[in-house]
Structure 1
């Protein structure tokens, strides 16, 4: 990232054709988007309206026109195994309903050609996808699976497959569905030009994946390894010196004079030189107080996924499989007896998460939802535990997506040791630099499209398994049989993710500082007048957050939320705020959204506006909020 990002409310600042964020510049746009999501749920929407990237939507139309039977719709998945999971999801969803036997899912496997020479391998790769077809009335269930599981085909895969499989053949399906007689010809020309203009070398993918995993595990950029990936132009020595001075500066989150907000990063291909903070796990054993030290192995303990939702979904499947084995073992031993142990254990969603997370867990597993995330939430959890019911796991975001609440992971860890449940933490909002939660949980999941990538043009996710967890051996066995690395992240996606994340540590620190200054200078002075509530870990849950705050580079994060006395005031502030608007967070630019309007929780105030601070010039950002407040 070079320099500062300009503010602009009506567009999102990305030149990438693979950009995944939405622009919702006015409150009315958010309301319209929410209505469209409802129409998708009702089945009254096309592919683009369903939230598919334009390349994925185009590929889906082509495949439907070429292979679908009458009144069938289709969707693409990264593997045959994933498509079968979608088929099973639909079977369960429609079971017992009228006409359920008509909800049959056909699966077609397609593959592009393999490269024939080493030279071809730099720009050609075998790509396998699975296409699932279902009768139109049941297509919404397929879209639900795509959204909740996160097991999706990326825009780069769709673009590559379109070119390799269909564009050269001049698909009759594309031509017949075009509104212009030259549409198919023009699309083919666009894809051929893109193909010959491609700069990415596919053979770098394995090295890029290794670097990404290592970066997650250690928060460190390996300069020697990255040199093999960088086709950079020469950089002036003065630029390198400036970058070193900026990125080696000590960061003290309690020092009000710290300011990285106006420091530009020179040279897009320069690697981050921030000293590494190893993701070292110190596990306190409650029984004897001993401390074990373990280091995450990037190759064996970190798994990458097509999205953050896919990492959470896989974790839920892992836990469900473990519980199924428990029940099978008890039945085989003949020890099953009437009571809670005979049935599936429930999973607890603690705190108010992203609504897709809530819907996924509550749809795909037996569960409890405890919206409170502080003392009240733990008290309700204790009531369940002390009733004699055994639970399988607690899934929690920390900080949470909307209210920025922080779970008391220390006490939760103690409860898990006493009552034998597992802990899964989604730290996407805080990020690897700011949050060190692994010591208190069994699995950490994250959406890498946010702070780690920053540019929001690569949908991806990760799962980190705690090597000291009692779940570790089973998790390794499960992932060895269920995880399909070749179908999870396409080579172009992992290479782009590696490039995007090279300076994620320095960007996180700059955003932390800008957020602290914005809260201090503009937001908090208006608490009690313009804003009725201000939510940020440094304000509402500072003591709890300090227990999981990154020891070396960590801050309190770049996401905060504000509430208003009336909906009209919230609407006016949102419409006048001259920053980007939409549901994204953790990007290089500041973005705001009416969080409750998009997530529809009764437990959250309707006036809540969440803000994710970016890398803009601080003075410009400060002025944007001051003007919105004064209007």
Structure 2
């Protein structure tokens, strides 16, 4: 693929995509400015990672409903399902300060009704929206729920609602009791849009929307031809009514039961075979979610409701929100931040010395983010069987082309936003129940009672298209990442080296990775994934290296293009000393390798390394060891 040049500060990555999920932070200073809320950076940002940056369309839609239903000094968040809105209210009630306990979270339920009867799909004609209103000064707390759970509405859902509102003659029927917290009364809003899916003149994706007399106006409208090109390029090749088919195909793809994954083939015509992922796995064991984090949150909720209550275990240094979920919901967790065999021995000691209260579930990543370490799943499985707890593994970074996790896990979760999609234009997550788990029956029964599909149909359509060639892309990314890592790793032993360490499954806890590693599908190539981290002998050198690296730079990973970030600054800016306790240095750079030409990638990293060396006085170099 053609290399993606790093866009200007604040632009979407890729550029000009209305639903891009990354944002350009080209320099170390820009990332620090983002974390500190520096005006220069914040004002430049057109978008951001959806769980951290509420999409402009969602902001505009929320502003409309705050104006319509809110009381003075109230904000709102928007959710696609009632159970999510109720979970939000419960979270706010538990965690808000004592002096705010008397302030209610109020929920309004809306039914947006598209009266175009040309479609036979009820889903295309009705959109349920749940508006959670709360005191404005509690917004930082409310934002935690949005970030940790990943269950807010999709930007494409907001776009759809705005398109209906823009084109509608709106009438409202029904009443609601704003003082009543638990129940909601629907507002039915009837529309006669110019186009049953979107208005012909769509809302601009800039920040200049306003509300005038109940209508939406924009000072700038983007080119309709431009949007047509972008949407066709990135996958709008099926009607929304095809979402059921797309979701079924996604489940089969994730379950590994497709005998031949033909592009665009209807699920009715697909040939199936026994799962490549694990014995007896079927599409019925796969559940889709709006994001990887919502899959993790839902896995934890499932364990809390289906199993004997008890603390969870967070094993290894995890992606930040996983630990927050285990700490803020349920009875809490034990944290073993290094994720080493010694930590596993310490856990075993805890279990032996105090079998009551029960450990309910253990959550881990394979490999971990950002240190690319893998726990000993064989030993972990033995402990789980002996002490009767569930193992939940996040395989996002390993991915199921490279590793086979299900024989050791009861639940496997993954962020489909990453390499499974690759195009950086849609969110998604999955949860798989392992049929071989001793807890399969109760987990399956409970999720059958509680699961509600909250994955927006258009997002599923985009994800299905993006993921058709995911196996080939992963193999190419494996090759590129190994070449870059081999180069950087070779620099750790040369005289006057500035490279301190390369974190990559080829060298980090290799024996544990190999337990689950699948045979390589290509000759003379490992299957260690596309993510690595690198540290340098000083933070100043790390900054110089990062700034000189010409690839795209911003949040997220698993993109078809190379994407880098100063990870510790981005994920743990307010807890740098805490992260350092577990080996996550302030100067750590995380790189997600893409599909660029291997020679181009090596040139990039060689150039950045030369620039880093040139910016540093010789006396600060590490002596030859």
Do structure 1's residue 309 and structure 2's residue 275 form an aligned pair?
A: no
Q: Which residue of 2 aligns with 1:473?
A: 441
Q: Distance in 2 between matches of 1:202 and 1:551?
A: 38
Per-residue CA deviations over 1:470-525 (Å, capped at 9, x if unaligned) read 2211222221222111xx11111111100000000000000001111112234433
Paired positions, count: 541
Superposition pairs of residues 329-478 of structure 1, within 5 angstroms: 344-365=309-330, 366-389=332-355, 390-478=358-446
- Which secondary structure state, in structure 1, belongs to the residue aligned with residue 431 of structure 2? strand
CA contact (8 A) 2:419 2:558 kept: yes
Q: Which residue of 2 aligns with 1:609?
A: 589
- Which secondary structure state, in structure 1, belongs to the residue aligned with residue 591 of structure 2? strand
Shift of residue 457 of structure 1?
1.2
Q: Distance in 1 between matches of 2:518 and 2:510?
A: 13
CA contact (8 A) 1:277 1:552 kept: no
- Which secondary structure state, in structure 2, belongs to the residue aligned with residue 516 of structure 1? helix
Of the three residues 570, 581, 586, the one matched with 2:558 is: 586
Superposition pairs of residues 181-260 of structure 1, within 5 angstroms: 184-186=216-218, 200-218=238-256, 220=258, 222-223=260-261, 226-228=264-266
Point out the structure with the larger helix share: 1
CA contact (8 A) 2:210 2:218 kept: no
CA contact (8 A) 1:167 1:187 kept: no
Per-residue CA deviations over 1:375-422 (Å, capped at 9, x if unaligned) read 122122122112223311110011001000011101100111111111
> What TM-score, normalized to structure 1?
0.79
CA contact (8 A) 1:90 1:141 kept: yes
Q: Which residue of 2 aligns with 1:147?
A: 147
Cα distance change, pair 429–94 in 1 and its aligned pair in 2 (3 A): same
Shift of residue 578 of structure 1?
0.9
- Which secondary structure state, in structure 2, belongs to the residue aligned with residue 568 of structure 1? helix
Per-residue CA deviations over 1:525-579 (Å, capped at 9, x if unaligned) read 3456221111100112222111111346481101111111111111111111111
Cα distance change, pair 424–577 in 1 and its aligned pair in 2 (3 A): same
CA contact (8 A) 2:14 2:20 kept: no
Cα distance change, pair 434–7 in 1 and its aligned pair in 2 (3 A): farther
CA contact (8 A) 2:240 2:458 kept: yes
CA contact (8 A) 2:277 2:404 kept: no
Q: Distance in 1 between matches of 2:326 and 2:317?
A: 13
> What TM-score, normalized to structure 2?
0.80
Shift of residue 191 of structure 1?
11
Flag the structure with more relative contact order, 1 or 2, with Cα contacts below 8 A and sequence separation at least 6.
Answer: 1
CA contact (8 A) 2:116 2:125 kept: no
Of the three residues 462, 469, 490, the one matched with 1:496 is: 462
Unmatched 5+ residue regions in structure 1? 39-45, 230-271, 282-293, 327-343
- Which secondary structure state, in structure 1, belongs to the residue aligned with residue 113 of structure 2? coil
Per-residue CA deviations over 1:323-347 (Å, capped at 9, x if unaligned) read 4xx4xxxxxxxxxxxxxxxxx4210
Of the three residues 531, 534, 556, the one matched with 2:528 is: 556
Superposition pairs of residues 50-61 of structure 1, within 5 angstroms: 51-61=53-63
Cα distance change, pair 615–527 in 1 and its aligned pair in 2 (3 A): farther
